[in-house]
Amino acid sequence: MKILLAVDGSTGSLAAVRHALQLVRDGLNANVVLVNVQEPASLYEVVVAHDAQVIEEIRDAAGAHALVAAEALLRAAGVSFESEVVGGDPGHMLVDVAQRVGADLLVMGARGSGETRAALGSAATAVLHAALDAPPTPVTIVRQPEA
């Protein structure tokens, strides 16, 4: 089984990683694809950078940084994984990547970085809506543990 794990470095996304690891400990034979979606560059960033390559390098570095903790958890558990950073709208990009890599399950946190009040964050909501219009890939939303 292939699990796509959406990771933004937040506590919620690490809860999703721990959920996937529990599935593996419970006997699920799974490979994991970690994916971080970076928002498209703003007009200001495009004007200041003047170079699409610079913007892409910055995006990739930010995404790689967001993946570090999740990669460490998977390595420590001995679970094989691949990591990917993509740019675009998180809702559609996560569903697109899930289809492209042949994911059997998409797992993500209920809320990402900076979202503390809503029960379901904007990216999780967008993924659920995008998944309704795509070929079926089950989506698991993992609630962040209480502090």
Q: In this predicted structure, what is the pLDDT of residue 125?
A: 87
Could you tell me the pLDDT band of residue 44, with boundaries at 50, 70 and 90?
low
Helix or strand (DSSP H, E) at 24: helix 11-25
The runs of H, that is alpha helices, within 78-116 are 90-101
Query: For residue 82, what are its two tokens?
Result: 């691949």
Q: In this predicted structure, what is the pLDDT of residue 23?
A: 96
The architecture of the domain spanning 2-142 is 3-Layer(aba) Sandwich (3.40)
Could you tell me the pLDDT band of residue 103, with boundaries at 50, 70 and 90?
very high
Domain boundaries, the chain: 2-142
Q: In this predicted structure, what is the pLDDT of residue 49?
A: 66
Could you tell me the pLDDT band of residue 71, with boundaries at 50, 70 and 90?
very high
Q: In this predicted structure, what is the pLDDT of residue 106?
A: 96
What count of residues does the chain have? Answer: 147
The stretch 112-127 carries a mean pLDDT of 72
Averaged confidence pLDDT in the chain: 87
Q: Is the pLDDT of residue 141 over 70?
A: yes
- Walk across the sheet containing 31-38 and list its strands: 81-87, 31-38, 2-6, 105-109, 139-142
Q: In this predicted structure, what is the pLDDT of residue 107?
A: 96
Could you tell me the pLDDT band of residue 41, with boundaries at 50, 70 and 90?
low
The stretch 110-134 carries a mean pLDDT of 76
The stretch 17-27 carries a mean pLDDT of 96
Q: Is the pLDDT of residue 98 over 80?
A: yes
